[in-house]
Amino acid sequence: MARTATRFTCTACGEQTPKWEGRCPSCEAWGTIQEDAPTVTRVGRSGPSKARESIALSDVSADEAIRIPSGIGELDRVLGGGIVPGSLVLLGGEPGVGKSTLLTMALASIAQRETALLVTGEESAAQVRLRAERIGGAGQIRVVAETDLNVVVATIAHEKPAVCVVDSVQTLWTADLASAPGSVAQVREAAGELLRVAKEHGVAIILVGHVTKDGAVAGPKVLEHLVDAVLLFEGERGGELRVLRAAKNRFGATSELGVFAMTGRGLEAVEDPSALLGRDELGAVGSVVACTMEGSRPLLLEVQALVSPSELPQPRRLANGIDRNRLAMLLAVLSRHASLGLGSADVFANVVGGVRVDDPAVDLAVALAVTSAARGIPTGPLVAIGEIGLTGRLRPVSQVERRLQEAARLGIEQAIVPPGAPSVPGIVVRTAGSIGDALALALGAE
Pairing outcome for strands 142-145 and 394-395: unpaired
Q: What is the pLDDT of residue 397?
A: 93
Identify the bridge partners of residue 274 per DSSP, sorted by sequence position.
none
* DSSP single-letter state for residue 441: H
Q: How far are the Cα atoms of 299, 360, 428 from residue 23, in angstroms, in the given order?
A: 43, 36, 58
Residue 333: its H or E element: helix 324-337
Q: How far are the Cα atoms of 19, 23, 41, 308 from residue 6, in angstroms, in the given order?
A: 8, 18, 10, 57
Give the CA diameter of the chain: 83
First CA to last CA distance, the chain: 82
Contact in structure between 349 and 385 (CB atoms under 8 Å): no
Q: What is the pLDDT of residue 205?
A: 97
Alpha carbons 365 and 384: distance in angstroms, whole number: 5
Q: How far is CA 438 from the centre of its chain?
A: 32
Contact in structure between 15 and 9 (CB atoms under 8 Å): yes
For the four alpha carbons of 98, 104, 110 and 116, in that order, the dihedral sign comes to positive
Q: What is the DSSP string of 58-69?
A: GGS---TT--B-
Alpha carbons 422 and 401: distance in angstroms, whole number: 6
Phi and psi torsions of 426, nearest 5°: 95, -5
Which of 335, 315, 319, 339 has its CA nearest to residue 327?
319
Give the helix, strand, coil percentages of the chain, each rounded to 5.
30, 30, 45
Residue 195: its H or E element: helix 184-201
Alpha carbons 40 and 178: distance in angstroms, whole number: 14
Alpha carbons 344 and 313: distance in angstroms, whole number: 8
CATH classification number, 67-271, choose in 3.40.50.2300, 3.20.20.70, 3.40.50.300, 3.90.1310.10: 3.40.50.300
Q: What is the pLDDT of residue 1?
A: 40
Residues of the chain with pLDDT under 50: 1-3, 40-44, 446
| Neighbouring residues of 196: CB distance < 8 A, sequence distance ≥ 6 | none
Other beta carbons less than 10 A from residue 414's beta carbon: 18
Alpha carbons 374 and 366: distance in angstroms, whole number: 12
Other beta carbons less than 10 A from residue 350's beta carbon: 19
Q: What is the pLDDT of residue 133?
A: 85
Please tell us whether the domain made up of 275-443 is placed in CATH 3.30.505.50.
no
Order the strands of the 229-234 sheet from edge to edge. Answer: 142-145, 116-120, 163-167, 204-209, 88-93, 229-234, 241-249, 257-263, 266-269
Alpha carbons 446 and 444: distance in angstroms, whole number: 7
Q: What is the pLDDT of residue 161?
A: 95
Q: Which SS3 state, helix, strand or coil, does residue 191 take? A: helix
Contact in structure between 211 and 93 (CB atoms under 8 Å): yes
Question: Which amino acid is it at 243?
Answer: V
Pairing outcome for strands 229-234 and 241-249: antiparallel
Q: What is the pLDDT of residue 13?
A: 75
Q: Which SS3 state, helix, strand or coil, does residue 76 take? A: helix
Q: Which SS3 state, helix, strand or coil, does residue 99 take? A: helix
Which of 119, 128, 113 has its CA nearest to residue 169?
119
Alpha carbons 18 and 26: distance in angstroms, whole number: 14
